[in-house]
């Protein structure tokens, strides 16, 4: 079984088990509004914590240990292809470790594309500016999904509107 599939199964299992606790509380005969409100908030907090790098690191460690224990092959980086020179001559797989490759968090938005090459930055800015100007609802959805606390909002907007 591929590591990404195992990774996804473990994440789904954690999410469903967390939601199951809340579901049982909501279906109880003696539902108390104050307790349910607290449970909803704690469930949301736990689910938001699943997006953190520390959660991903723990999940990665658990998956690799489980893979070793079951006798599966360890994860490998995909073969590095070359992008034609007219498209900047960069490699198709800019990842240095398998953990970076399998990380599903939207690090480009959080890091303001600090690891991107100039061509990637250019196109990310073009798409970002288009969305800001023509599709503000889509930008709002992205922000709500990947940056609900708006911790990276200013940095992201500064990156999108800059020209360096």
Q: Are residues 5 and 69 in the same domain?
A: yes
From 61, 76, 91, the end of a domain falls on 76
Tens digit of each residue's pLDDT (9 = 90 or more) over 106-140: 555 556 666 677 777 788 788 888 888 898 888 88
Q: Are residues 65 and 2 in the same domain?
A: yes
Residue 95 lies in a domain: no
Q: Are residues 18 and 70 in the same domain?
A: yes
Residue 94 lies in a domain: no
Tens digit of each residue's pLDDT (9 = 90 or more) over 38-76: 888 888 888 888 777 888 888 888 888 888 888 888 777
115-153: b (≥16 Cβ within 10 Å) or e: ebeeeebeebbeebeebeeeeeeebeebeeebbeeeebe
Task: Please give the tally of structural domains in the chain.
Answer: 2
**What domain range includes position 144?**
106-164
Tens digit of each residue's pLDDT (9 = 90 or more) over 30-39: 888 888 888 8
């Amino acid at each position: 079984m591929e590591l990404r599939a195992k990774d996804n199964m473990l994440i789904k299992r954690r999410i469903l088990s967390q939601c199951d606790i809340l579901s049982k509380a909501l279906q109880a005969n003696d539902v108390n509004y104050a307790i349910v409100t607290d449970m909803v908030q704690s469930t949301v907090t736990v689910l938001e914590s699943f997006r953190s790098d520390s959660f991903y690191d723990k999940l990665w460690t658990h998956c690799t240990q489980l893979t070793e224990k079951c006798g599966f092959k360890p994860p490998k980086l995909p073969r590095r292809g070359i992008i034609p020179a007219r498209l900047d001559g960069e490699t198709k797989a800019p990842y240095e470790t398998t953990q970076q490759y399998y990380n599903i968090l939207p690090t480009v938005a959080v890091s303001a594309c600090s690891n991107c090459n100039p061509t990637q930055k250019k196109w990310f800015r073009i798409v970002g500016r288009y969305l800001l100007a023509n599709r503000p609802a889509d930008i709002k959805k992205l922000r709500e999904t990947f940056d609900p606390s708006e911790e990276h909002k200013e940095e992201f907007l500064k990156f999108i509107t800059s020209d360096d």
